[in-house]
Amino acid sequence: MKDLDNLHKLIDKEKHLFEKGDVEEKIEKINSDNFTDFLKKNQLKPTHQRFVLAELLFDGKNKHFTAEDLYEKVKLKKNKISLATIYNTLHSFVEKKLLKQVSIKDGKTIFCTNMNSHYHFFNSVTGQLTDIPKNKIKLKTVPTAPDGMKIDSINVVINLTKKN
């Protein structure tokens, strides 16, 4: 319980960092001029669906979203892309390391456009994922990877809930 209280104190103390998006770094903005080059560079076939999704995702701002969130945005823009195609495209982008996939409680998956090394808070009340700058969490030791394997990345998600 003491650790949880300390975490809440840290959150309150550093709240300004998370509200301002301290981890923000410019990401490549995708438009009709650079879309084909962007996909070729990442060995993906240019399609209309990928263009629509890339334009929504890679607008120069970091964001967190679910496949369903993206599906709703696509529908608002009067585009017809199935949820299955959105999932397939997102997973292709994750495989090419254009997006991060963050698995949280209850098997929910949230995607993150911020490819810099960082961690996350997950607010179970609002369902929101918030970036934590890498320098705000100190890992003292990391176990050695099993034989034949290497550590690709380290994901830390701190799950939050309301104080009583």
* pTM for this model (two decimals): 0.72
Q: What was the pLDDT predicted at 117? A: 81
Picking from 93, 95, 126, the residue whose alpha carbon sits closest to that of residue 108 is: 126
- Cα–Cα distances in Å, from 72 out to 47, 56, 59, 60, 78? 20, 12, 17, 20, 10
* Orientation of helix 48-57 relative to helix 67-76, angle to 10°: 110
**pLDDT tens per residue, range 55-97:** 899 888 889 999 999 999 999 988 899 999 999 999 999 998 8
Fold of 24-115: Arc Repressor Mutant, subunit A (1.10.10)
Separation of alpha carbons 109 and 21, rounded Å:
21
Query: Of 105 and 26, which is predicted with more confidence?
Result: 105
Predicted local distance difference test score (pLDDT) of residue 28: 64
User: What's the pLDDT score for residue 24?
Assistant: 43
Mean pLDDT of the chain: 80
- Beta strands at 157-160 and 118-123: parallel, antiparallel or unpaired: parallel
In the chain, what are the domain boundaries? 1-22+117-164, 24-115
